[in-house]
Amino acid sequence: MQEGPIIYRLVLWNIDLTLMDVVRVSREAYAEAFRRITGRPLVALPQQAGRSDSEIFFESLALNDVPRGSQQADQELLAKYTWELAAAFSARGALLTSQGRLLPGAEAAVAATAAMPGVVQSVMTGTIKPNAERKLAAFGLSEFFDLEIGGYGGEAYPKGSQLLNCRARAEEKYHTQIGVAATVYLADSNRDAEAARIAGVPFIGVASGRSTASDLSAAGATVVLPDLSDMADVIAAVDHLTRVAASR
């Protein structure tokens, strides 16, 4: 039996405002799921950059004066909300391409990165897994990612821990060793930069979201790109950061 390519480096991508902008659709889905679970309108929505869907939900409860219960009750409420959020987003699937857009260079960048020697790539996103899958499928990006090893907004772990969990899953699935320094994370927010710092993972900041290039640099980004429109710059950054570590 022919063996697959040897994997020795892992590239993880944030989705929202790094690869695409589907904020309008997401907000509508948040509002519907919140109303169905709490019986109240979602009047105030917290800052979303770098936050998981579970964080956004609990912060929304506080901002909209919804009483909290016990820890067990909160987890049950979150489980119901996650289900409703997936359903609300699925119902709006056709709107992703009409009301949303891929950001400049995103498709070319992920396609070129996926073709690099020794690379497997996945996502590290605040979005719950069903909705992450729908976003990528809507814009024809699913084929470039191994979504089994990704990190998603429905997980209980903070992003720093999730980055390490993604690497561990990749190592187990591909029967290989991938050093922490041979794992790179591309995202657009200061919170993502902080998660990468905690995990010890090189971080490529993409200034296509709410954080400016100077914000990302100050937050500890190893490399900062204005966007993904220059594919050569994206590939050079990923290759340099992961190849150096992998060749040690």
Residue 3 counted as domain residue: no
Q: What pLDDT band is residue 102 in, cutting at 50, 70 and 90? A: very high
Q: 205: domain CATH number?
A: 3.40.50.1000
Q: Do 234 and 127 fall into the same domain? A: yes
Q: What domain range is 205 assigned to? A: 9-21+101-246
pLDDT given for residue 3 in this prediction: 61
Residue 244 pLDDT class (50, 70, 90 cuts): low
Type of residue at 6:
I
Residue 125 resides in a domain: yes
Over residues 72-99, the mean pLDDT reads 93
Write down the mean pLDDT value for the chain: 91
The verdict on 122 and 197 lying in the same domain is yes
Examine the domain organization and report whether 156 and 134 are in the same domain. yes
Higher pLDDT, 181 or 247: 181
Same-domain check for residues 76 and 157 = no
> In the chain, pLDDT over 70 holds for what percent of residues?
96
Same structural domain, 134 and 221: yes
Residues 115 and 190 in one domain: yes
Lowest-pLDDT choice from 12-21, 49-58, 182-191: 49-58
Is the pLDDT reported for residue 247 higher than 60? Answer: no
Q: What is the pLDDT of residue 248?
A: 43
The DSSP-derived string for 22-39 is -HHHHHHHHHHHHHHHHS
Please check whether residue 229 lies inside any domain of the structure: yes
| Per-residue model confidence (pLDDT) at position 131 | 97
The one-letter amino acid at 133: E
Do both 88 and 114 map to the same domain?
no
How does 212-233 read in b/e, with b if 16+ C-beta sit within 10 Å?
eeebbbebebbbbbebbeebeb
Q: Is residue 2 part of a domain?
A: no
Taking the C-alpha atoms of residue 93 and residue 23, their distance in angstroms, rounded to an integer, is 13
Q: What is the mean pLDDT of residues 145-160?
A: 90
In a domain, 149, yes or no: yes
Residues 6+ apart with CB under 8 A from 74: 58, 68
Reply yes or no on whether the pLDDT at 79 is more than 70: yes
Mean pLDDT of 60-69: 85
User: Domain count of the chain?
Assistant: 2
Last residue of some domain: 71, 97, 123?
97
* Residues 123 and 188 reside in one and the same domain: yes
- Which among 127, 164, 130 has a CA at the least distance from the CA of 19? 127
pLDDT at 2: 40
Residue where a domain terminates, one of 34, 66, 97 = 97
Share of the chain above pLDDT 90, in %: 74
**Is 186 a member of any domain?**
yes
The verdict on 17 and 27 lying in the same domain is no
| Position 4 in a domain | no
Q: What is the pLDDT of residue 5?
A: 75
On whether residue 1 sits in a domain, the answer given is no
Tokens (6 digits) for 140: 């024809």
- Residue finishing a domain among 76, 97, 118: 97
Same domain, 93 and 144: no
Q: Do both 142 and 193 map to the same domain? A: yes
Same domain? For 88 and 183 the reply is: no
